[in-house]
Amino acid sequence: MPDQFSDEVLRRLTHDALHLYSGFDEVYHGHLVEAVMRNLPPEFDRDRVERVVHDVAPNAH
């Protein structure tokens, strides 16, 4: 699969996911990862998404 999803695209998707959870008392890392993964092909590298989510939202539980 060609890498058509740069880290910048993954960061944007993560920011979009964070926007969905704005106003929540707690934001969970796993929920953010799942929200991003819904926008990607099923075979996309989940570890890469987890790293980007952690970089963008290091305080997510």
Q: Render pLDDT for 22-61 as a digit per residue (tens, 0 to 9).
A: 999 999 999 999 999 999 999 999 999 999 999 999 888 8
Determine the pLDDT at residue 59: 87
DSSP state of 40: S
Query: Using CA of residue 61, residue 43, residue 12, residue 24, what is the dihedral sign?
Result: negative
Determine the pLDDT at residue 60: 87
pLDDT at 18 over 70: yes
Determine the pLDDT at residue 10: 97
Cα–Cα dist 61/2, whole Å: 32
Cα–Cα dist 37/18, whole Å: 13
pLDDT at 14 over 90: yes
Determine the pLDDT at residue 2: 46
